[in-house]
Amino acid sequence: NILNANGTVSPGLYMAGNPALKSKLSSIRGTFSNAWMDYNALQAVLQKRMSSGLQGQVAYTYSKCMTNSAGYYGTWGNGTQASPGMPYWQNVYDGNSEKGPCFYDEAHNLTSYVLYQLPFGRGKKFGSNLNKVANAVVGGWEVDGILTMHTGFAMTVNNWGDPSGTGAWVTRTNCPSSISYPKTTVSSGGIQWFDPSAFTPV
């Protein structure tokens, strides 16, 4: 919250009517470290060391990251609770009600690579007796590939505005009914993945 010089608080829901400041200060910004974050993961690596010109590795991570806050700076930089899009608690007195996946949570993450040395040139299966010029042209070539795959990130649906009248721009939407995903209704505008009728302003 921001405590203004005239004693009001922005947003005015918390500590309203407390004329604590009588000075030329424009505002005092207060914050506290009261959030938590849990990260657990299972990691596995399968590696093939270089032999016969072939080398590769596959790394897999199964993880879960949970938190009740994106942090004071959040994902959009410094701002106040009354700033549009800031990831603050909707209810400052009940931070645990914000529990959910971290904004960078990836349940599944797979990374792999393969490297193959082509068998052409001096010391190789083919062309081991090539002269220096020919070896410089056809020898020493490698082919490699990298594959990275991961699941998507969590998403929170917010109201753009302050329909609850709390002075905060982080009001969550209500979910009045069950949601079936993916919703792949085809309309004139293309495929609609999310069902907008499943969310209503608070």
User: In which residue are the tokens 């939407």 written?
Assistant: 173
**Is the entire prediction scored with pTM above 0.85?**
no
Q: Say how many Å lie between the first and final Cα of the chain, rounded.
A: 21
Q: Are residues 105 and 67 in contact, defined by beta-carbon separation less than 8 angstroms?
A: no
Supply φ then ψ for residue 120, to 5 degrees.
Answer: -125, 135
- Residue 196: is its pLDDT beyond 60? yes
- Decide: helix, strand or coil at residue 116: strand
More confident: 70 or 151: 151
Tell whether the model's pLDDT for residue 25 goes beyond 80: no
Q: What is the separation of C-alpha 145 from the centre of its chain, rounded to a whole number of angstroms?
A: 26
From the centroid of its chain, how far is CA 197?
Answer: 25
Categorize the per-residue pLDDT at 116 as very low, low, confident or very high, splitting at 50, 70 and 90. very high
CA 134 to chain centre: 50
Residue 169 Cα distances to 70, 107, 116, 140, 176, angstroms? 15, 29, 54, 60, 21
Structure tokens, 197: 């009728």
**pLDDT the model gives residue 75:** 46
> Mean of the per-residue pLDDT values for the chain?
73
d(CA 191, CA 30): 44
Cis peptide before 11 (omega within 30 of 0): yes
pLDDT per residue over 130-182, tens digit each?
Answer: 888 888 888 888 999 999 999 988 776 666 666 666 555 556 666 655 555 55
Q: Which pLDDT does position 16 carry in this prediction?
A: 46
- Judged against a pLDDT cut of 60, whether residue 72 lies above it is answered with no
DSSP string, 26-45: -EEE-------EEEEEEEEE
